[in-house]
Amino acid sequence: MISFPAFESLTRCHKMRLSRYFLPILRDTPKDAEIVSHRLMLRAGLVRQQSAGIYAWLPLGLRVLSKINAIIRQEQDRSGAIELLMPTMQSADLWRESGRYDAYGKEMLRIKDRHDRDMLFGPTNEEMVTDIFRSYVRSYKDLPLNLYHIQWKFRDEIRPRFGTMRSREFLMKDAYSFDVDEAGARHAYNRMFVAYLRTFARLGLTSIPMRAETGPIGGDLSHEFIILASTGESEVYCDKSVLDLAVPGPDTDFNNVEELQTIVSNWTKPYAATSEMHDEAAYASVPEDRKVAARGIEVGHIFYFGTKYSEPFGAKVTGPDGVDRPVHMGSYGIGPSRLVAALIEAFHDDQGIAWPVEIAPFHVGLINLKVGDEATDAACETVYRALEARNIDVLYDDTDARAGGKFATADLIGLPWQIIVGPKSLADGKVEVKRRADGERHVVTIEEAVLLVAG
């Protein structure tokens, strides 16, 4: 099977000249944007609003989204999930089978095709994936199975707001697990739990799993993954000790039931709940100096729902005893388009965005302070080619703008490293390297600069 990271590395362009790029920077803040991530996404040319809660992803924003998706894919694949791609448009008949065509209400965007058939823009895919499953899978030997896709969803929110944080059209990674019994489903749940911890950590985020509403099934198998941010929509309460837990490493054995259960148990032991699930009595027993009451952004949600869909859909497998049983299912969602906004909430300062290295749209911004000058042009070309040779993503500012404007743009779009080439340092054969996150600068030779940013 061709893995997506390999596919993406074939198509990704590693270098770009700003003079030839499409990067519409806004100097002024559009008045609609209330929260900092929304402002910066518009100003840095990541997205453009096309309608209420509907956004076009501009080239720089798409690069970030793609990098997030690549990390999500790697961790989903590592945990044993398998990617497919289901359509955005779905037939209403499928949703009538589960009873959700009526139950979903106005949040579902309903459409009629030319033959007057009832269609809808999918807000989620439980029905469709269950239909796919029941069409092909007959035996317990084919389980466990976890199918996921990354696809656009539409939920006709009453009031979309906060840019891509709460949009109507949004990208979602949704995974669906199928197991022969509840014990198997619990292990499937734990696999996703660990995959999520790893995914958010790789994105540079500290995520906290919190008990969430379980719906009709009950039990303890639903968690929201929350990152702390003052602009978050959720009120959260937790025991600070959860922040010190070690994230499971890449060598985690996802087939080892005990190992995963131990990890999940450790992570769910400290108190952590959103306001809906908050238990004052339990919170009161958390030592005073470890209490955290804050706001958070929900970036992931996992839950087990047993046979809620498999039963009405007749999604059964034949067990070793020859008896057919409906499969036990769970679903697991991450919102990449929301994550872009959440990441900016977590990584910005007064000058603009400061992307974590893993998901920065480019790794390096190469700034030519005197375009047209033979020496600076030549030095920049040398750096540009050296970075290209090492497959380091570079955005080369070869425009003839003034120094101040270039610095402002570079800080705004927030690439992790800036290599600044100007006559001043070049007089000594040096260039300047600036780390965006903390502003630390080094005046070094070109060779040293390339090594420095290469890490």
Say whether the peptide bond before residue 336 is cis (omega within 30 degrees of 0): no
Tokens of 28: 């002024």
236 binds RNA, rule: CB under 7 A? no
Nearer to RNA, 240 or 370 (CB): 370
Residue 12 to residue 25: CA distance in whole angstroms: 22
CA proximity to 180, closest of 264, 306, 309, 80: 306
Nearer to RNA, 70 or 413 (CB): 413
Write out the H or E segment, with its range, that includes residue 295. strand 291-306
Nearer to RNA, 70 or 302 (CB): 302
Instruction: Kindly calculate the radius of gyration of the chain based on its CA atoms and give it in whole angstroms.
Output: 24
**Contacts by residues 257-262 (CB-CB < 8 Å, ≥ 24 positions apart):** 257/187, 257/190, 260/187, 260/190, 260/191, 260/193, 260/194, 261/186, 261/187, 261/190
161 binds RNA, rule: CB under 7 A? yes
Task: Give the helix, strand, coil percentages of the chain, each rounded to 5.
Answer: 40, 30, 35
The residue count for the chain? 455
Binding to RNA (CB under 7 A): which residues in 294-323? 298-301
For 164, which DSSP code? G
Residue 243 to residue 42: CA distance in whole angstroms: 32
What is the closest distance, in whole angstroms, from the C-beta atom of residue 131 to RNA in the complex? 21
Interface size with RNA, residues (CB under 7 A): 59
52 binds RNA, rule: CB under 7 A? yes
**Between 321 and 360, how does the x/- string for binding to RNA read (CB under 7 A)?**
------------xxx-xx------------x---------
**Between 364 and 393, how does the x/- string for binding to RNA read (CB under 7 A)?**
-----xx-----------------------
8, 77, 83, 157: residue in contact with RNA (rule CB under 7 A): 157
What is the closest distance, in whole angstroms, from the C-beta atom of residue 127 to RNA in the complex? 16
What is the closest distance, in whole angstroms, from the C-beta atom of residue 29 to RNA in the complex? 7
Binding to RNA (CB under 7 A): which residues in 393-452? 401-405, 407-409, 411-412, 420-426, 432, 434
Q: Are strands 364-368 and 394-397 parallel, antiparallel or unpaired?
A: parallel
Nearer to RNA, 310 or 368 (CB): 368
Which residues contact RNA (rule: CB under 7 A)?
25-28, 30-32, 34, 49, 51-53, 107, 155, 157-162, 164-167, 170, 172, 224, 233, 298-301, 333-335, 337-338, 351, 369-370, 401-405, 407-409, 411-412, 420-426, 432, 434
